[in-house]
Every structure is written in C-alpha cells, then in structure tokens.
Amino acid sequence: MSSFGIAKIAKMLSIWSVVVNTLAALAAVSTVVLDGALPTVLLALIPLLIIMWRQRRALLRAPGRVGGIGRYVTARYLLVVAAVVQLNAIDRLEILGISASLLLVIAIALEPVLSALSRFSIPYAANMPSDTSRPGPAFRYGIAYPLGVAAVLVMILASLAPTPLLILALVLALATAVALAVALLDTAIGIRDRLRFQEHLPQILEELAPVFYVYWHAPPKSAFQVTMWLPYLERLGVPFVLVTRTVPSFRQLRAATDHPVILRRSLTDLDDLIVPSARGVFYVNNAMRNNHMIRYSQLTHIQLLHGESDKAASATPIIRMYDRDFVAGQAAIDRFETFGVPMPREIFRIVGRPQVEDVAEERGPIGELPDRTVLYAPTWLGYQEETNYSSLLAGPEIVRSLLDRGCRVVFRPHPYSSRSPQLREASSTIREMLAADAEASGREHLFGEVAEREMSVVDCFNASDAMISDVSAVVGDFLHSGKPLGMVSPRTGAEEFVEQFPMARAAYVLVARDGELEGLESTLDRLLETDPHREERHRWATYYLGDIPRENYAQRFVDTAREELGIPALDAEPLTPQVR
C-alpha cells in the first residue's frame, strides 16, 4: 500500500489523536508514579511536540480565520492536568499556577464552541445596496491557537523554574482566553447579522430588482470564468446579481468584482431569489450544483461556458438541461454531432465570442516581419487522463527552439497548472530560461507575474505574432486575430489529432508522443516563416467564431441575450415585473 493510502487511512481513523491522547494520559499518570520534575516534564513534552509538529502550519504561518482551534483538545487538557499535578508535587501550586491552569482550561473549553459557531458566522453578501455586511471577522481568530499551545508548553516547563514561567504562563493563558472570548462575541454578531440579512433578503432583492442572476460554483482560482463575461453582461443595461453556493466561491467573486454577490448555501436558500423582476440565469460552467437552480422553470436558463474548444467537455449532454446554449459559431453546434450527442437545434444561439472583440489583427504576413513574438499558452492536466491535453512537460524544449530562432516569448500557462508538481516544475524551468535569455540577449520576454496576472489573455494575444497552444479555449479566441497558430498533439499523430479536433485544421500540428517532440523545427518553419495555411485559417475563424463583422462584434451577444430575457431596447419602455 502506498504511503499516501496509509496516511489517508490514518486520518480517517484519527490515529494521531489516539496516539497523542494516550501519550498525554501517560504523562499525567507519570507525575504520580515518578520522582523528579525532569522525567515527567520530558514525558509531557513528547505528546506536545507531536501536536506542534502535526499543527506546524497553524502555528508558524499567518493565522487563519480559525486555524488549529479545536484540535487535540483532550490531549491539551491532560497535559494541563499533568503540569498541575507536578507543581503540586513540588509544593509550588500557588495562586499563579491555579490561575494560569484555570484560564487555560477555560480557553481550551471555548475552542470547540468557537470552532462550531464559526461555521455559521460566514459571509453572506457583498456590494449590495445599503450594504452593511462585514467583509470578514474582526480579526483572525486562529491567533488564539499558537497562544494557547505556547501557554501549555510553559505550564509543562513551569516545574523547572516556577515563578518566572508561571507568570509567563498566566499572561499567555489570559491572552488566549481574551482572544477566544472576543472571537466568540464577534462570531455571535456575525451570526446575528447573517440571520437579519436572511430575513430581509426577499425585500432587498425586490428593491434591487435584478433581471437576471449569474450562478457560479467552481474550484479555487476560477473567478476568471465569471469575470470574462461581466463586461458584456453589464452592456445589457439592467441590474443583476452574482450567486455562489460556497464560502470559497463567494470570496473569489467578492475580491474580483464590485457587482452584488450573495451566498446561498442550501437548496431552500435559493427560493428567496425568485422575485418578480427575475427573468433568467446565466451559467459559465457545468458544475454539478447548477441543477439546483435549473429547477426554477419560470426562469430562462442560459449556458455560456467559459471558452470555445474541441474538448469533449464542450459537447456534453448536460447542456440539454438549459433552455439555451450560447455558442460562438457553427463549430460548437457541429461538435455535439461529432461526439454523438443529439441536441435540439433550437437550444443553440450563435453569439460569437464577445471576449475577442479587442483582439488585434496581425501586423502582416509573419514571414515579412523583422522580429517575431510567440505566445506559448499550454493548458493543464484536466480532471481525467483522457482530458489531459497539456504540452507543458515538453514546453522547455519548445521554448528553447523559439529562443534559438531569436524569438521574443510570452509564456502564459493555464492557472490550474500549479496544481501538478510536474507542470509546476516545467513552468519554473521555462521562467528560468526566459529570465536567463532576457539577461543575456536583452530580449524583453513576458512571463511570470506580468504575463500571468497583470496582462489579460487578450493582452498576451496582442503582444504576439503567433501562438503555440494545446486543445484549449484560447485557440478559438486566437483565431480572431488571423495570426499563425500551432497546436500540440500530446498522444496521437497529426492526422488523427486533426480528425479528433477539427480546430487543428487551422493550425500547424506539433506532435509530442510521451513527451518527445516530433518535427519541431519543420513545424516552426511553417508557423514562423512560410505560413501556408494563412487563408484557410481565416475561413476556420468564421466557422468557430461566427460570421459576425469585426465592427461591433460583441453586440451580437448583447442583442441576443436581451432578446432571450425579454429585455426591450434601451430606448423602449422600462421592464415590467413578470407574473408568476
């Protein structure tokens, strides 16, 4: 069995808690049966050191909202008992020792209460009209945990130097108890405020009169799925609210936008969203919890997704549960047939990809440019092996070839690449290569914080003359530029890859079998020198991104969305509430 499996089983069985509690109990017993302070102190230190090692993150890092509060409570009780018995054995259990131990016991007793109540004192809304909600707790409650552990440590050692250590233990215990008491009061205020908001939410929403909701649930670092659509949803010219289902998702959106955001955790919480003004809901992914909102059949449910690619996830039968599927072009509709997923034709509306409206056209034929900048934008591993299209493991070799050709490089890996140790290492290698080349050659490569955070994807497109990527949504968006495009096939030959992923017909395919690149130099010659697919690439751009004029390209989405939601033209009569 792997070490990972053993660790998981140990966690499920709470083996560490059993071990630590047993050792703490033995330490307490030893104070009665052993003579001398030093042996009993050493025995008591063993379980405490194990606690400190197991909780090192909670102790050494910046304290979290709750941190380690509520962990190893029984063991810490027993260690305080051991310290008190030892002090009594040496006749030094005076007022200082009694006070410190009582405060510690009270503090430890408060921890489980705070840990339990903090689950109910959660953020609930942000950016609402007359918003009085707090952005978070008054302070990080987790600071009480290292204070409390330090107090237990000093109590254990107190028998070695009673007077100074008991004074220190009393100060630490008092600080811990005060911090926990204030945290409990702050938690109670947070729970009260949340309950008041819950009670008044229907009235708040009726006054706000949202015409639609953006419903979202996703893993960390996924707020881009929503933020890419916000500028275009704003153009609908009506109020709307963002709805999340978990605290982490709420915090992502609260940090990313000034639009109203509310947290609805339970199924019944969603009922309050059904107000007379509401006409529809937009979704930007296929999260499992989307079906919780879909059940409100009086609303129009519109799937937007967050990218246009040939991945199987873009042609899932799950899309059938929505009233409309907004797609960029005919390719997205044909993709369902390719994957054998029958769909009602009326579900689709071709709206283009409004996010590409600011993508600049090519400077000219790439072979005639005096210098070339290439964007390398690999995707991540995906959730299953069959959806792993990432070329990042071969990325260092690709980038090395680009540097050898004198290219300036823009490196922007998928945000989820950091989840994999292998992809994280490959990304670090590429960044180091670009930094070294920039210093040696003076070429201003774009990578790291600049390319991955400060610049948008469109900024990276516009800074480049060509791109190399994988089966990814950025490929479809890049087509709008008309610039040369390379795609990496991670498992199959070029012909099979093109057959499986039709978007590759607009690209120069680079094969990477088992991490080994085939025909890299010849592919780069076509990508960066001759570009024989230039005209064909322009035809495929229309197929994938819609036959929509570049001028006012995003207006197609705005007009279609307003039509589906029954929103009149901006110069028409105002909306009237729907009858339920």
User: Which residue numbers in the chain have pLDDT < 50?
Assistant: 1-4, 10, 572, 579-580
The CATH T-level fold of domain 366-545 is Rossmann fold (3.40.50)
Model pLDDT, residue 571: 53
570, 268 contact by CB (below 8 A) = no
Beta-strand pair 516-518/508-513: antiparallel
Residues 470/475/476/482 CA torsion (nearest 10 deg):
-150
Instruction: In whole angstroms, give the CA distance from residue 108 to residue 242.
Output: 39
Beta-strand pair 508-513/485-489: parallel
Model pLDDT, residue 267: 92
What strands, in cross-sheet order, belong to the sheet with 485-489? Answer: 408-411, 373-377, 466-469, 485-489, 508-513, 516-518
Model pLDDT, residue 2: 47
Model pLDDT, residue 69: 92
CATH class for the domain made up of 209-352: alpha beta
Answer whether 6-196 and 366-545 agree in fold.
no
Model pLDDT, residue 570: 60
For the chain, which residues make up each domain, given as ranges? 6-196, 209-352, 366-545
Query: Distances from the Cα of 254 to the Cαs of 116, 119, 125, 220, 563, in angstroms?
Result: 24, 19, 9, 13, 29
DSSP structural state of residue 446: B
Percentage of residues of the chain with pLDDT beyond 70: 92
The CATH T-level fold of domain 6-196 is Four Helix Bundle (Hemerythrin (Met), subunit A) (1.20.120)
Residue 183 has phi, psi (to 5 degrees) of -65, -40
Beta-strand pair 373-377/408-411: parallel
Helix (H) or strand (E) holding 86: helix 73-89
Instruction: In whole angstroms, give the CA distance from residue 429 to residue 421.
Output: 12
Centroid of chain to Cα 512: 29
Beta-strand pair 508-513/348-350: unpaired
Query: Distances from the Cα of 340 to the Cαs of 313, 314, 328, 350, 416, in angstroms?
Result: 13, 13, 20, 20, 29
